[in-house]
Structures are given as C-alpha cells and as structure tokens.
Amino acid sequence: MILTGTGSDGTLGIKDIKGNGGLTVVQDPNEAEFDGMPQSAISTRLVDLVLPVEQMAGEILRYVHTRPRIAMPTEGDVLDETQRHTLGRIFAQVRTRTGRDFSRYKRSTVMRRIQRRMQLLHTEDLQEYASLLSEKPEETRALADEFLITVTNFFRDREVFDTLEKDVIPTLFKGKGPEHQVRIWSVGCATGEEAYSLAMLLLEEAGRHDNPPGLQIFASDIHEDSLKSGRDGFYSGDIEIDVTPERVDRFFVKENGGFRVRKEVREVVVFAPHNLLGDPPFSKLDLITCRNVMIYLQREVQRDVVEVFHYALNPDGYLLLGSSETSDRSELFQVANKKYCLYRKRNVPTHDLHLPVFPLSHGRPAISGQVEKAEPEQRQTLSYGALHQQMVERYAPPSILINTDHTVVHFSENAGRYLVHPGGTPTSNLFKLIREELRLDLRAALVGIDKNGHAVRTKPIALRLEGDIRHVVVHFRPPEETKDQGLTLVIFEERTQEDIPRRLPAIHQEIGAPSQSLEEELDLNKQRLQAVIEEYETSQEEMKAANEELQSANEELRSAMEELETSKEELQSMNEELATVNQENRHKVEELSQLSSDLQNLLSATDIATIFLDRKFRILRFTPQVGTLFNIRTTDRGRPLSDLTHRLGYEQLLGDARQVLERLIPIDREVRDTEDRWYLTRVRPYRSSDDHIGGVVITFIDITERKNSELSLRESEERFRLLVDTSAQIVWSTAANGEIVEDSPSWRAYTGQTFQQFQGIGWTDAVAPEDRERVHALWRHAVATGEPLHTEFRILHAASGEYRWTEVRADALRAPDGTIRGWVGMNSDINEHKLAEQSLQEINETLEARVEERTLQVRQLASKLTMAEQEERRRVSQILHDNLQQLLYGLQMKTRMLEEKLEAAGHLELTEAVAGTHSWLQEAIETTRQLTVDLSPPILKNEGLADAIGWLKRQMQQLHSLEIELETLNPPVTSNENLRVLLFQVVRELLFNIKKHANVDRARVELDQADERILIRVSDSGQGFTSEVMEDRHGSGFGLVSVRERLRLLGGDMEINSAPGEGTTILIWVPATPSWQ
C-alpha cells in the first residue's frame, strides 16, 4: 500500500511485491496531501488498484476472501477436460484481441496469473471469468499484460554482470576494429534496464580500445508499453541503488526527480517489438541474454527456443540465461559458467531448424479444446521425429526424411507401407528399404535432384497395397538452402485411377519454385518497409512535440532576457561599488603575495623536496629540490604525477598517495635513488584551514648520511659476527684468583705482549692508561664476588700501534659444589662500532637542531597567518561598518522620506510597501552591525584575555541563549597579541561546538595561569562523544583536530575527556611567552 508522501522509495517495494505475485494498492493522488509517492508508483504501470483511502480496506478484504475454484497444476500435470476447454477459450480471446499467443506458456504459470486477475475482479468460477473476458476487452488486455513479467532493474544480479564485464565483454572485442560490430540481443527486455546495463559495459570496454568496433544492442519484448518506457530512457531516482555513482555521472542526466540515459547510451540500443515464439530472430549476434523468460515456457518450447538462439549466434557466441534456467541442448551449447548460467555456442549445425519456428495462425481462432487436445503428447521431449510430425505429417501424406547419403533419418507414421526391411543386418539405406516397384524411379529422381537441386516428382507408379492396385506419385523436396544440412523430404501420394492424367512425363520439374521464393522474399521486404515507415511516422510525431516544447522554451527565454536587462542596470550600480572594494583587495593581495613569498622561501630554505598534489594527483606546487629527483619543470603544474619519471626506487609512490587520500593515514618510507642516495619519504593529506582535504603532500628528506652511518654500523656488526664465527676473538683463561697462568696466542697476537709480559696481572699494561684503573677495579670486584664481568675498554692493537675499543665478557668456571675453579673470558674488537655510534650521535644532534630551527620558523609563520586572518576580519568589519552600514542608513532615511510623501499623497498601498522595505532595511542594519562585531570584537583591541572571554560570555548568552559560568583563578597575562587572538578564537569555536552538538544550554569556562603557562578549561554536561568521532577529520570531528594542530604549532596542546552521555571537558594550555616571538 502506497499512501500520501514524497519521493520514490515506495516504488522499490511495488516492484518486489509485483514480482512475487502480490497485490499493489495506491492511494488516489487527487485526495493525497502529497501526491509525489503515489504518482511515482503509478508511473511504473505495476499498480493493481488506485483507490481512496476509505475504500482500501474493503477491497483488500474482498481480494483475500475471494477463493477462485481452480485446480493448480504442477509440472507435468494435465488439466481436467473442463479447465482445458475453458483455458482454450481464454487463449483464443487473448490472441484475438492482442495478437499474443500464450498457449505454449507453462500451465502452472498461466493459471496463477488467471487466479490473481479473478481475485481482483472477485470472481471464483473460471468459466464465468472466461465469459467476462468477452464482455470486457480491457480485462483481456490486462490479462495479457499479467502473463508478461515486466519487473526488472539495472545490473540485476550484480555477480552476473561482473562476470560479463570481466570474462565475456572483453572477449567480444577481440580481433574487431571500426569496420566490425559487437551485436547483442536482450530478449524480454521489459523497460530496458538490462539493455542499458549491457550498453554501459560495452561503452566502458570501448573506451579502453583505440579503435573500437561499432556497438549494437537489440532490445525486444512483446509489451508495447514497456518498450515505450525503454525508448524514453527515463527512470526514477531509485536507480542509484543499483548503479554506481561513477556510472550515474557518466551515463545519466538528472532531471525532474529522476535520471535519463545520455544520448551515447540511447544510440547503442534499438528497441523493437518481437515475439520470440513467432518472429524470426536477429542474426549474427555475439551475445544473447534471455533471463527469466524461458522459465514461463513449456519444456519442449524451451528446447526449440534454444535452437533459435543457436542459429542466431555467431560462432563461439555467448548465451546468458536466468538463474533458474538451463540449456538442455548440450549438443548445441557448452557451459562457460555454470553458477551464472552462462553458455557458449558449439559450432555445430542446427539440423532441423526452420524459421520462424512457431508461426502463429491468424486464419481462424482456435476451437474450444483444440489448444489443449494434444497436450499429453506435447509434453514429451521433442526430437527430429516430433518436429517432423508437427510440421509435416499433420497436413501431408506419408513421408520420409533422408540425408545427402540417401540414409533415412525419420519415417512418418504410415510410411512403412512403402518400405520393405530386407533380411540380414538392419539398414537405413533408402534404396535397400524402398519397395522394388519404386526403386528405379526413386533412384532416377534423386540423380536429377543431385544435378540441378529442383523439386521433382515421379509418374504414377502402380503398386499392390493391401490386395489392391494403387497408383503412387513420389514427390521429392530438396533443401531450399545448403544450410539445411542436405535433408530431402520424400512424400508418397496415392491417387485414384480418375486422378491419373493420360500423359505424364517421367520426371516433372516444378519451374514455379523460384517465382514462389521471390514472392516470399518480396512479402518479407514489404513487411520490413512497413515497419520502417511506421517508425518514421512515430519519429515525426516526436519531432513535432519537441518543436512545440522548443517554442515554449523560446518564449520563456525572451521573458528571461527582459529580466536580465533589468538586472544589468542593477549590476552596473553594483559594479561601481565593487570597483572600490577591488582597490582595497589589491592591497590585500599584495600582503598575501608577500606571505606566499615568505612561505616559498621557507620551503626552499629547508632543503626538503616537497610536492603538493590535488585530489586527482595533479601537481599543484613543488619546491626546487624536487628537480633533483623528478624530471619536472615549472610548466608541469597541472599534469598528473604519473606522467613524470623519477630517479627513485619507489614504484608504489602513486599507490601510497591514493591510500593516504582514501584513509587519511600518513605513510613513511625510506627509498633509495639511482645514485644510491637515501630519502625519507613522507606522504600526508593536504588540509586546508577549514579542515578540508584538498589533496596530498609528499616530502623527500635526504637521510643519506644517517643511512650510511647505519650501513657502516651494520657492516661493523657483520665483521664482528664473522670474527666470532671464525674464532678471531681474543680468548683467555685465569686461575681462581684472577691471575693469568695459561698462554693465550690470540691475546699475544693482538697486543704484541709475550706470555711473560701478560701473565699474572701483566695484561693490564696493554690497557689504555685512561681505562686501566677502572678496568682493574672491575676485575677485582668480579673475582671477589664471583659475578660475571661485562665491560668495554681500550687495549693496545700491536698492528696499528693504536688503542682500540674492546668488549670483554668473562664468567667463572665452577666445580659441582659451586666453588670457583677459574675464569674464562673473551675480548671482541668493537672499535668501528663505537666510532659509528659517536658519529651517529653527532648526526642526530645536528638533525635535531635543524628540526628545532625549522619548527621555530613554522611557528612564527603560523603566528603571522593568524594575525593576517584577524587583520582580514578587522578589514572586512571596517568595510561593513564604514561603507555598507552608512549606505543602508542613507537608504533607510530616503525610504522614510518616501513613505511620508506617499502617505501625504494618499497612496496607502505604496506606503505599506515602502514601510515593509523600511523594516527590511532595519533588519539588514542590525545584521551587518552584529556581523561587524562577530568578525572583529572591539574588546580584543585593548583589553586582556579575561575581559575578552567575559565579553564573549555575554555575547553567547545574548545571541545564542548559551549560559556560561566563567571562573578566573589567576587572570592570564600575555604581551603577545597573536596568542591572545588565537585563544579567543579557540574558546569561541569550542563554545559554538557545545551549542551545536552538546544539546545543552549551559557551559563552564575556567581561566588560569601557572608556571608561565596559560590554562583554559571548557566543559559541559552534554551528550559527549567517542574518541573516534574526535579523530574523524572529514566528518563530525567538530574541528577539534584543527584546533589541536594550531595549538601545537604555538607550543601548546589540548586534552579532551569525553564519553557518550557523560559530557565533555577540554583543557587548553600554551606558554604565556612563546619562545618564537
């Protein structure tokens, strides 16, 4: 049920309910308060009842309580005689009034549709409903429409279209150029959504080719109203559910609350009325989509339809069926994707196809019961014999069908009387099976057919059948075309003596066949010409309607031109005022230019390569240092970054930029260029002052020195490992008292001491004098306590004559009872490692100093930008006060004088109009006055921060009904005007957030100064929020991220404590005397 309302979301429910055989009821738009939704539902042509609200309940109850007396058949069941007779009458009336034959539809489907129509008409007897059809022609058409399923949508079953896009469509384009065509047939297209979906896929694929082939989609259906909607190409707004935003922007134009397909899509699709069961198919097709059509047809008809599709497709063409449909003709199609019912044509001939396969008989309506009389036989699976019997045997004498090898492929029911099965091995050869009396004439006739391909017949041949002499004339009908697999029809015609002419040639060629063929071709061309003429006349009518619309639009444009002339005079007056403002803006531009130069110089001075990209990854700006990494010039601004080559081993640069733009998560990578220089690459989102993400910023910081130090350190560690692995370390041992008693070749080789020199405690002589006393004390302590020794000191290196750093590790050798038996130690040379650490420490200290210096410069620039913003506010406030307000005051005085004159002259209506203008001017004056104060609060010029916050308290209570409790513990004092302005703006922004999001009318502000820091705490008891909301940079983050970043640039910070339902407390602190001022 669709009731009063706006929008088109109710239409979605209508489609689903109708698709499942339900009842759809819509309120009469004439009585609806808002008729948008009812009208949208009615436009779908899927509505069963349009009623006033008071009639809906009664109609629904009558629908539910109506119980049609119909035996609903299942698959394979046969209707009883009464229902079959009545159904034949219904089919005849539908065919007579609409030209549509539904006799080959599944009986279960047909009966369900009839049952629904009977419920709508509150009829329970099937014969009574059949009689009602003859009385109400409109119900016959409604029933015909009910049999057809016209519910569809764009990209129905998304996975199926994904498969077409990835696996099928690209295949159709292979090997094709501009001289070729990609041809697709959408069978049962309904209102065209499926056909247009296919067109979008084709156009997208064509865009990927330099010379794409031509595109053609045939969209066919037998429902004229649906085809009309498809040709119109206008769809409601709910298509955004099924079509991606990118495709909506590219292939549709939004208008009148819906979307219309663009011309490029419309020109690809040709809509045509076509009866799948009666009209010849389209040919030379690459893809046929027939989804959810065959499920409503009888089993044997489905097989014939598949044969038609096989005939219409090009070699290796594709057939797409619905999810509940399959192709039983495995000899004609192979499965390409079983899950999505996608098949591919086998390149084999269709042996017994004659087009059209299902010609409709318009000569006379079917007699009651004739339609269903052969139903049990029709339910059998069709074969060559079944097709032969249906098309020939019913209307012709006995016959047989032979192939080019003269082998019999089928017999008619009574053809056996002219054949004799010889003894021995069974055979199908015609010359062995035919009776002896007929064999000679039959052989001569077939020879004649093989020579000239014309139909022939024999003379009457006397033949004894059933004890009587019969005269038989044998007719031979060769294939009309070579495509018909060389099958020849042999017909046996029995004649009486009176029918035999006195003289007959042995073989008579029918010379009228070519003439008949030409006449049939002429009739077909006449039908096609008639269709073209009708389409031309329809186009003419559409052009006339379009011309009338253009004339109407022309009148509207004339009226608009007159309004524009009036506006032009007003614009001239405004232009003079703008000229004055423009002069002031020039001075401001000069100031901004100076600031831009300062920023450019700062970026250049940092010696950091920086690239600014927009949201489409096109180059906005870059620093000169970028030229060392990219082949870039000033003229490259505006070009995509992907067009440029670079010397970095960083293939995923553009991918990282996309990821940062999508997720807003910074990415850092260390990359190396072709000259073995290392760079720290940082990819960050570009944020504007209003927290808008305008693109991406990429910086490249040269870290070659640090990287080389790290590499050197790693090399040193590698050498140390190799020394340990190859036992190149100094290994020694002592007695329990710590004195050397055993020789150590590695010690002697390293220090140059002899055994006599280093035994006992003589090894200390090789220790550097500066370390000797410390090392000796540590060793004595280890020996006394039994604790392991681990220390570093310098010892003499004999080969170089220098003292080198060594690392010593020693531990006690203990007896099972725990007593110390001796000591074992090992010295490792760590001289390179120590030197590298010292070098790295020096480099880090240098980098930290440079970063601190650059940070100070950025803070100073942020301060300048803050004051520039405040100065701009003051300037605009001054303009509003000195110029605009004065003009408004003057205009107010003039309107007052005009009002007095008009009142004196007795023009009461004009006096009231001028009085209304006067009130508007007063409101404008008040607005500009308040805006002047908001842009540049006067109290910021002379008073301190506490007074400014007090003024803000009064403003918020007066203008926004937000009561503020202000507590000043120690009045903040700062001589920096920039800091005072920034803190005032931050507090005001936080109070506005409370008013907009906290859902309270009270807040608290605390001011304090302690330890040279200004502290401000803003709190409320509102609904609060989660930390994820605060971090949301493009959503509902309330601007808190931007506030925190501005505070950090000035050396301060912000702490936030909040939870849903528990209020919010925000603490702000900044240094009272910034280090950068």
Residue by residue, DSSP assigns 612-662 as: EEETT-BEEEE-GGGGGTB---GGGTTSBGGGS-BSBS-TTHHHHHHHHHH
Q: Which CATH class is domain 383-511?
A: alpha beta
Q: How far apart are CA 226 and CA 704, in angstroms?
A: 70
- 274: β partners: none
**Domain covering 606-702 in this structure, CATH number:** 3.30.450.20
Structure-model confidence comparison of residues 688 and 1032, the more confident one: 688
How far is Cα of residue 1066 from the mean position of the Cα atoms in its chain?
Answer: 41
Q: How far apart are CA 1075 and CA 1072, in angstroms?
A: 9
Q: How far apart are CA 210 and CA 208, in angstroms?
A: 7
User: In Å, what is the CA distance from 642 to each residue of 203, 647, 680?
Assistant: 25, 13, 20
Angle at 600 between CA 595 and CA 601, to 5 degrees: 95
Q: How far apart are CA 859 and CA 853, in angstroms?
A: 10
Q: Does the domain formed by 709-829 have CATH 3.50.50.60?
A: no
Give the mean pLDDT of 961-965.
89
The whole-number pLDDT of residue 429 equals 85
The whole-number pLDDT of residue 510 equals 47
Q: How far apart are CA 325 and CA 317, in angstroms?
A: 18
Is-contact 806 830, C-beta < 8 A?
A: yes
Going from N- to C-terminal start, the domains of the chain cover 9-147, 158-345, 383-511, 606-702, 709-829, 940-1077
62 Cβ contact partners less than 8 Å away, ≥ 6 residues apart: 122
pLDDT digits (tens, 9 = 90+) for 401-410: 888 778 888 8
SS3 call for 609: strand
Burial classification of residue 536, based on how many CB atoms lie within 10 Å of its CB (0-12 exposed, 13-18 middle, 19 or more buried): exposed
Q: How many CA atoms lie within 13 A of 488 on its CB side?
A: 26
Is-contact 322 292, C-beta < 8 A?
A: yes
Give the mean pLDDT of 302-323.
88
How far is Cα of residue 1033 from the mean position of the Cα atoms in its chain?
Answer: 24
Mean pLDDT: which of 382-386, 528-532, 1005-1009 is highest? 1005-1009
Give the mean pLDDT of 111-136.
81
Angle at 43 between CA 39 and CA 44, to 5 degrees: 125
The whole-number pLDDT of residue 81 equals 76
Q: How far apart are CA 24 and CA 557, in angstroms?
A: 43
SS3 call for 793: strand
Tokens read off for 440: 């000679």
860 Cβ contact partners less than 8 Å away, ≥ 6 residues apart: 1076
* CATH architecture, range 940-1077: 2-Layer Sandwich (3.30)
Among the residue ranges 137-146, 563-572, 811-820, the one predicted with the least confidence is 563-572
Q: How far apart are CA 933 and CA 873, in angstroms?
A: 10
- 977: β partners: none
pLDDT digits (tens, 9 = 90+) for 534-592: 657 767 777 877 777 787 777 777 777 777 777 777 777 777 777 777 677 667 757 77
Q: Checking DSSP bridges between strand 619-622 and strand 667-672, what pairing results, if any?
A: unpaired
DSSP string across 1000-1050: -SEEEEEEEEETTEEEEEEEE-S----HHHHH-TTTT-TTHHHHHHHHHHT
Structure-model confidence comparison of residues 716 and 337, the more confident one: 337
Intrachain domains 383-511 and 709-829 with the same fold? yes
pLDDT digits (tens, 9 = 90+) for 893-951: 777 788 788 888 877 788 878 777 877 877 777 777 666 666 666 666 666 778 888 88
Q: How far apart are CA 912 and CA 930, in angstroms?
A: 27
Q: How far apart are CA 229 and CA 43, in angstroms?
A: 10
CB atoms near residue 78 (< 10 Å): 13
Question: pLDDT-derived band of residue 326, with 50, 70 and 90 as boundaries?
Answer: confident
694 Cβ contact partners less than 8 Å away, ≥ 6 residues apart: 614, 615, 686, 687, 688
Give the dihedral of Cα atoms 661, 662, 667, 669; nearest 10 deg. -90
**Domain covering 158-345 in this structure, CATH number:** 3.40.50.150
Radius of gyration (Cα) for the chain, nearest Å?
Answer: 48
pLDDT digits (tens, 9 = 90+) for 276-288: 887 888 889 999 9
The whole-number pLDDT of residue 538 equals 65
Among the residue ranges 30-34, 522-526, 562-566, 615-619, the one predicted with the least confidence is 522-526
Please report how the helices 945-960 and 977-993 are oriented relative to each other, as an axis angle in degrees rounded to 10: 30
pLDDT at 501 over 80: no
Q: How far apart are CA 754 and CA 732, in angstroms?
A: 14
The whole-number pLDDT of residue 165 equals 92
Give the mean pLDDT of 686-697.
82
Q: What is the DSSP letter of 883?
A: I
Q: How far apart are CA 567 and CA 393, in angstroms?
A: 85
Is-contact 961 926, C-beta < 8 A?
A: no
pLDDT digits (tens, 9 = 90+) for 743-784: 888 888 888 989 888 888 889 899 999 999 999 999 999 999
Is-contact 928 942, C-beta < 8 A?
A: no
Tokens read off for 318: 């594709």
Is-contact 508 462, C-beta < 8 A?
A: no
Angle at 673 between CA 672 and CA 679, to 5 degrees: 50
Q: 951 — phi, psi (to 5°)?
A: -65, -40
Structure-model confidence comparison of residues 694 and 584, the more confident one: 694
Question: pLDDT-derived band of residue 357, with 50, 70 and 90 as boundaries?
Answer: very low
Q: How far apart are CA 279 and CA 274, in angstroms?
A: 6
Residue whose C-alpha is closest to residue 619's, from 670, 593, 648, 657:
657
Tokens read off for 762: 């003589």
Q: Checking DSSP bridges between strand 214-221 and strand 269-273, what pairing results, if any?
A: parallel
Q: How far apart are CA 979 and CA 519, in angstroms?
A: 98
Instruction: Name the average pLDDT for the chain.
Output: 79
